[in-house]
Structures are given as structure tokens and as C-alpha cells.
Structure 1
Amino acid sequence: MHKIITGIHVEVTDAIREYTLEKLDSLEKYIPKDDTSAKVTVELEKTTAHHSNGDVFQAEAQLHIKGKDITIRAVEDDLYKAIDTLKDMLARELSSYKDKERSIFRRSAHRMKNLLKKLTN
């Protein structure tokens, strides 16, 4: 999976980049192995919430995999917390996608099996 990490109003240090890449690497198990075009773009942004004190960090991921585009945004008061939340949300979405793909395959296989049984009888 190709990974791009950018920062808006925040410097993406080596520590932040490594932390983000480590979190994204844990999502590889959800991506089909034959999908070489998988690409994730992560934008880390520091914003201000106009009615609250302190900084607000936003992590947004745009994931493009075969047959699906996923965009997820996490907003937290700490950058690392935003990255963790983003990873959890992506994992949930990818797990659901993988389960749907597997379910479609199994239904198709079941239909084919029934069709072959009818033909042989």
C-alpha cells in the first residue's frame, strides 16, 4: 500500500511520520493482497476551535482500494490521539468492507454449487 503523509499548519516530524506509518501498517491485513493500487493519503492538521481553549488536531485519511474509496476524519485535542482514533475508524471500515467482499464471494460460490448440483441430477 502506498502511503502519503502531509501536514497542514503542523510540522510532520520523523517521530510523527513513523508513528503514523506504524499505525497504517497494522491496516495491511484488511487490504487484498492482489490490490497493488491501494493508496492512503493522511493529512494531519492543526486547527483552532473558536469556542474552546487550546489547539485542535485533525487527522484525515483518504483510502483508495479496488472498488472503494474511503474518507475518514478524526478530531482530537492531541495529535497522537487523533492518529489513533483515525486508525481505529479505518480498521472498522476496512473490516466491514472485507466482510462484505467475503460474503459476496461465499454467496456466489453457494449459488454455483447449487447450480452444479441441479445440472448433475
Structure 2
Amino acid sequence: MDVVVTGRHIQLGDRFRQHVLDRMGKVEQLAPRTMRVDVLVTHEPNHRQAKSTERVEVTCHARGPVIRAEASHDDKYAAFEMAMDRLAERLRRAADKRRVSRGRRTPESVAEHTGRLVQEPAGLPAMTDAEQASHDGDGAFADSPIEVREKVHSSAPMTLSDALYQMELVGHDFFLFHDLDTDKPSVVYRRRGWSYGVIHLEVADAESAAS
């Protein structure tokens, strides 16, 4: 299993890198088929406090869906441990789903499936799925001070149920996917409790859009 540790706006020492490697045994135990784990540490300002914070994203690549977790703290070691705890919980969910799927003759409904998942705290995190991005860039928006992070999101067509499941695994409140049933670009998003919404994009030609 390859482990890639990267720092953004921060220099990472050998001690932290070794600490990350020492903790990867948990990933191998829960997901033995994992091929690569990406650990991204980002140093960024904390808008709620005067000091800065460290955000850690841990992404697990295997032959199934990509599983990701993130956490923030003013200490990168603490942020990493929090992210690892969340990742471990999501790896357990994925393992449980595989066991349930093999034992069932009838598929679960979306409500039954999502009802077993533990809801993450509310929020609207940016789409930072490093595992699904072939391009990542930050840049100013026109002449304004606004910065826009650009992502190229690649995905095979999937059902709405699969999109809900993958959204839970990466810990987001929304998920961009290609709907297998409608053959349209779509976004599923969390509303309240176990209520979800889905938006399908109807691509119009230039003449129709102008009219």
C-alpha cells in the first residue's frame, strides 16, 4: 500500500510523516485491498480565531468507492487523529455494506440503506475529492479578490442509491454524478435529517437557451 503525504502552505517534517505511516496499520486492517492512501495537510487561517489551523484530509483508494475523511485543529497531529477516526468509521461502513450485499437476495431501498448511516455534522464543504480530480487549481476570479478552486470530476455512471452511498463515504453534503437511469449530469444533496434532494441537468442547445 502506497502512502503519499503532502503539505499545502506548510512544511512537513520526518516525524509527522513517520507518525502517519505508523497509523496506516488501521487502514490495512479495515480495508486490506487498499492500494493508496493520500494524506493532505493544509495550513489555513482560522476565521473564528486569531491563530491559524491545520486541515487534514485522508483519502483511501481501493477497488471500490473512494473513501475520504477530513478534520481541522490548530495542531496537525490532533487534526490527523480526528480524520483517521472518521475514516475508520467510514471504512467499517463500507465493509458492513459489502457483507450485507452478499447476504441479501433483494437489494435495499435508498431509505433503508441511508438510514443505517451516521449523519455527519451539517455544513457545506468544498468539493475537494482529490481521488476523483484529474486537475486541481486555485485562481482569482476575473479581477476580483475571490479565489475559485477548479476541479475536474470524473465518474462512471451510477444509480441514485450509489451516489447517496458515495456521498456519505466522502462526508460531503452534496455529490456530483452521472445518473445511470436518466443519463444526465446530476447532483444529490442533503436536506434535513434523512431527507435528500437531487438536481438533474437538462443540457439545452444554444438556440433553445437564447430563446
TM-score, normalised to structure 2's length?
Answer: 0.47
- 2:92 alignment partner in structure 1: 95
Q: CA deviation at 1:93?
A: 0.2
Q: Name the counterpart of 2:17.
A: 17
Q: Is the counterpart of residue 83 in structure 1 residue 85 in structure 2?
A: no
| SS at 2:58 equivalent | strand
Structure 1: runs of 5+ lacking an equivalent: 109-121
Residue of structure 2 in register with 1:52 after alignment? 49
RMSD: 1.5
2:38 and 2:57 map into 1 onto residues whose CA distance is: 8
Between Structure 1 and Structure 2, how many residues are aligned? 105
Percent identity (aligned)? 28
- Counterpart CA distance in 1 for 2:87 and 2:66 is 12
Q: CA deviation at 1:25?
A: 2.1
Cα offset for 1:106?
2.3
| Structure 1 stretches of 4+ moved >4 Å | none
The equivalent residue for 2:29 is 29
Write the distance in 1 (CA, Å) between the matches of 2:30 and 2:48: 38
In structure 2, the gaps of 5 or more residues are 106-211
CA–CA separation in structure 1 for the residues paired with 2:40 and 2:54:
10
Give the structure-1-normalised TM-score. Answer: 0.79
Higher mean C-alpha displacement, 94-103 vs 63-72: 63-72
- Tell me if structure 2 keeps the 8 A contact 1:24–1:87: no
Please tell me the residue identity of whatever aligns with 1:15. R
Q: Which has the higher contact order (CA 8 A, sep 6+)?
A: 1
Native 8 Å contact 2:55 2:73 kept in 1: yes
Report Cα offsets for 1:47-97 as digits up to 9, x if no partner: 111341212000012221112112222111111100100110110000010
SS at match of 2:59: strand
Q: Structure 1: how far apart are the matches of 2:95 and 2:2?
A: 19
